[in-house]
Chains A and B, each alone.
Chain A
Amino acid sequence: MSKLPSNMLLCFAHKGEARSFLKHYPFQPVAFPVEGLYRCEASLLLITGEGLQRTSEKLGAVLGGFYREIREIVNLGIAGALDERAKPGEVLSIRTCYGEGQNGPLFHSFTSRDGHATVDCISSVERVEDPEAAQRLAPFAPLVDRELWSIGSLAKRFALPFRSLKLVADRAGVDTREVCATLRLEDPGIPLLQAFRETFAGIVEDPAPVLAAENPLGPGFYCTASQQRRLESMLKALALKGGEENLAILKKAGIGEIRQRPIAPKARTQALLENLHALLNPFESRLRGILEEMVQPLAEAGFEVRFSPHLEQDWLEIKALLHNSGQTRKLGEALQRFTLEEIQALLNGDPQIYKKVDSSQ
């Protein structure tokens, strides 16, 4: 007996489709309000019943109860061919699933994690029992089933990847009834089990999901939820930019020095985020450095200078609280020592001023 990959939720519409799996692996029923749930070591198996609504109800309940231990959903079952692109008897891995509701096609589609799959499937709201119904669905996909769209939709909602292996049972709308009867006698689970084992034979399991650390930066730092989101997104972008590991990036951003600063842990995180931002945005941080130098006379005179948000406009705001004529004089002198035109030339991207700044540095 081969080992069942761990932390999976196997979904079947009918018990008949799951029979081989229940025999091959030591699944045991789970006491849960939803019927048809089995467990084998760290994996689960669910019989959803037929149709989009039943699948949504049962799978939704199971995911609500067990999603923390599920790493992937695998749907296995039979599907009907809508045209010649799929041949009865084949087992196909599904690329994208589409859906059909009571009023026509459902807009959202869901793509499986199998990057090599090339066949799509549409889940119909009713059984396809005549050629007209098959013709209505065929423009969207070569295969039809009754469940996969709900599985894709719930997988997305729970941020879980999914796969689907479908045994092409018949030409939908042409020979559906006879083939269903055949399937009651034969065991569709056998080719599905074989395809399942082949699919997962060469796949190295992802490492178990790691819960985000409460404090990813270690002692001396405190991250709010939004800071943590910013931190993660900037680390990802910087890794893409320089191909470096997180630790090296944090070192470059001065985490060691910031840890020693006599400020609050949250302020340390803020300082680190600012450094990461500067690493990620060298043009902007250089520009801000130059601007800071240019308004230095005003800062030295004790006045606050503010630029437009994101530097999207070429003005600057000077905040001055004047108590006496000495301060008025100071402001006047400071204003004389800086040139607005140069600042505006920088903010308006004048290449000449950038060259001038470069040559003076």
Chain B
Amino acid sequence: MKFEQVFVETQVRDLPQTVKILKKLPEVPVREIRKIEDVFGRVRKPYLHKRTALNLYIGRKEGHLVKEAPDAYGLLGEPHFYFIHSYNCIYECEYCYLQGYFKSPDLVLFVNHEEIQAEMAAVLRRFPERERVWFHAGEFSDSLALTSLSQEWPLYWPFFEEHPRAWLELRTKAVNVRPLLQLGPLPNVVVTFSLSPEESTLALDRGTPGLGNRLAAMSRLAKAGFTLGVHYDPVVYRDDLESAYRELTGALLAAVPEQQIAYISVGVVRFTHEVFLEFKRNYPESTLLKEEMSASFDNKIRYPRPQRLFMLKTIRDACLELGVSPEKVYLCMEEDHPAAQGGEVARTAEATHR
């Protein structure tokens, strides 16, 4: 990965975290700016410029640093939040909602991690009776893909050690697990990987590590005692859906003992209207364009309901038949959300869709 320029906010220029990041990029021209918003997203930068003209921004996240996650995020009944420490991703998955989100593919790293943790602590205080409060790290970026550069997780580990009720979910397609292995497992940290059958990975997850490498990375983490999670998301229809996911789950269970898998979430491919337009513009030859998807009740582009439920349930059944405990498999079912029956549509699994 090569950056064309680095933009640094004046207010964070001398912070140790900024200095550490810049040390890793000695060749890249650095430009000082007042605020990230003065440049990032001010003009619409085409998404595919990330291939040849990617910039990096370093700054301080302001406003809400920790936000409530949509209802279907994670297992039901537990409070879920996500925190924002970076924007955008080095990978180029064709279905990724980020391609229509920020109006710029440039990467943003926020370095005010202490403030983010202070807000997490405040959230924990709001739920004194809860055994678990979840904090998700992969909402707007891959949690591990840039960690060698951003080096943030050593700053978060002490927080999660100190607050056992706070649970961290990292979400990734990266295989760069060395920083985590150096930190060691924590009982309240779940490292989750997005997995698809090999053909889908090759066809749609551009620039990401292959399935075999992801499973090998998971295996290394499992052997080191980490708890892992899996996202079968997004699922794309295929005639051999059942056997493909049976094979995938078999390979998963060969790499990671079932006891070390906290959960498997399953979600079917879907697009907001805006992201779909951007996706069509970016990947006019994508195999996803031949799928049986159309504008649905909420104007999102997805398979018809019977088909997507069939897909979810087929995969769930395959997981159960291979010995995954039923309570560990959860389905991202937008239609179960009351909002899907009319009125405001829940963001539900849209946010998990990367």
A→B interface (CB under 8 Å): 83, 95-96, 98-99, 104-109, 111, 118, 120, 138-140, 237, 240-241, 280-284, 287, 309-313, 346-351, 354
**A-B CB contact pairs (8 Å), 15 listed:** A107-B43, A109-B44, A109-B46, A139-B31, A139-B38, A280-B292, A281-B304, A283-B303, A283-B304, A283-B307, A284-B307, A311-B304, A312-B296, A312-B304, A349-B311
Contact A139 B7 (CB under 8 A): yes
Residues of chain B within 8 A (CB-CB) of A96 are 45-46, 49
Asked whether any CB of chain A lies closer than 8 Å to the CB of B75, the reply is: no
Are the CB atoms of B292 and A348 closer together than 8 Å? Answer: no
Instruction: Give the 3 A-B CB pairs with smallest separation, nearest first.
Output: A349-B309, A349-B310, A241-B290
From 20 to 75 in chain B, residues with beta carbon under 8 angstroms from any chain A beta carbon are 29, 31, 33, 38-39, 42-46, 49, 52-53
In the bound complex, residues from chain B placing their C-beta under 8 Å from that of A95 are: 49
Give the Cβ gap from A95 to chain B, nearest Cβ, in Å. Answer: 8
Taking A284-B292, A310-B294 as known contacts, 20 extra A-B pairs with beta carbons closer than 8 A to each other, sorted by chain A number, are A105-B43, A106-B43, A108-B44, A109-B44, A118-B52, A120-B53, A139-B38, A140-B42, A237-B290, A241-B290, A280-B292, A310-B296, A310-B304, A311-B304, A311-B306, A349-B306, A349-B308, A350-B313, A351-B310, A351-B313
In the complex, which residues of chain A have a beta carbon less than 8 angstroms from the beta carbon of B304? 281, 283-284, 287, 310-312
Bound CA–CA A99/B303 (angstroms): 39
Q: What's the count of A-B pairs with C-beta under 8 Å? A: 95
Instruction: Contacts A109-B43, A111-B46 given; indicate if A139 touches B306 (C-beta within 8 A).
Output: no
A107 touches B42 (CB 8 A): yes
Contact among B39, B296, B305, B307 with A139 in the assembled complex (CB-CB below 8 Å):
B39
B289 lies within 8 A of chain A by Cβ: yes
**How many angstroms between the C-alpha atoms of A283 and B303 in the bound complex?**
10
Looking at the assembled complex, report how far the CB atom of B345 sits from the nearest CB atom of chain A, in whole angstroms. Answer: 12
Distance, CA A105 to CA B304, complexed state (A) = 42
Neighbour of A240 across the interface among B53, B289, B335, CB < 8 A: B289
Q: How far is the CB of B107 from chain A (nearest CB, A)?
A: 15
- Interface size of B as a range: 35 or more
Residues from chain A with Cβ under 8 Å of B52 in the complex? 118
Q: For window 253-287 of chain B, which residues contact chain A by CB distance below 8 Å?
A: 285
**Please, which residues of chain B bring their CB within 8 A of the CB of A140?**
39, 42-43
CA distance A153 to B217 in the complex (A): 47
Q: Tell me if B325 is interfacial: C-beta within 8 Å of chain A.
A: no
**CB-CB nearest in chain B for A99:** B43
A348 to B7 CA separation, bound complex (whole angstroms): 50
Q: Is the CB of B310 within 8 A of A354?
A: yes
B312 close to chain A: CB less than 8 A: yes
